[in-house]
Amino acid sequence: MARTRIGVVGAGFVGMTVAQRIAEKQIGDVILTDIVEGMPQGKGLDMCEAGPIERYDSHVTGTNSLDDLRGCDLVVVTAGLPRKPGMTREDLIDKNAEILRSVAGKVAAAAPDAILVMVSNPLDIMTYLAWKLTNFPKQRIVGMAGVLDSARFSWFVAEKLNCSMQDITAMVLGGHGDAMVPMPRYTTVSGIPITDLMSESEINALVQRTRDGGAEIVKLLKTGSAYYAPSAAVAAMVASILRDERRILPSAAILDGEYGLKGTCIGVPCVLGRNGIEKVIELKLTETEAVALRKSADEVRKGIEHLKL
């Protein structure tokens, strides 16, 4: 039986680490693509040579042609530029929209039945644009951010309470940015809401640190941004989809009335299975939470309107 084929567009730090994690988890064979000649080929060969040591049989094939994504069951898109000093949010949208426009049609032509997992920033806006460019059903377009933001929230909670990360389940909704909506009521330690374990001021501090999670790493690194946690988030989503695990993971989804929202793409709890987004879970929100989610959705909508689709 043919093995699952997974495409990864962009072989930078995030893309190559996604490929590595997918290979090590033996989710399938990886086609790693990039425009830089020789770079994805070299990284792919290096990962294959790690296989006998780490005991995995997945192949990682590097290529400079998106045509080689033909037959892929799922494609992860990481291609894009990071935000640089002096660059506005609109500048980043314009630059990465241009890159996505050069990629999306070729990906759709090569792998018309694939599920698309978007990682390029601004995440929610690029996920929406990918939907428009590919004409894929919205269930087959999913953005990675909620799993990452929830993982960061989980680590901050574990660090504060000095307890195991394995006992923590966190939930973060909304756009991947300053207006994200961490959900303390739905964040638990062995089933105990953190609202029973910490003061309001302590929780608020962790919520703000979660919102600043990516920026904190950028500041520490001086150059570059996070890739270990983002790639782990992608691999978890890919495994849930291709293995039909049907995990409920916060993911960027194009909404059509859920949470009373349309014409936007934000992070919400989704059942991820073999068809992509199998179901959007609608949580019961307090008025404060609902207002915060609408505000986050409005921020994303402004970015979508900037694209002038």
Enumerate the active-site residues. 176
Pick from 144, 156, 143, 163: nearest CA to 184: 156
The rounded distance, in Å, linking the Cα atoms of 45 and 194 is 45
Pick from 144, 69, 73: nearest CA to 104: 69
32, 11 in Cβ contact below 8 A? yes
Neighbours of 282 (CB within 10 A): 12
> Distance between the two ends of the chain, CA-based, in angstroms?
42
β-pair partners for 31? 7, 61
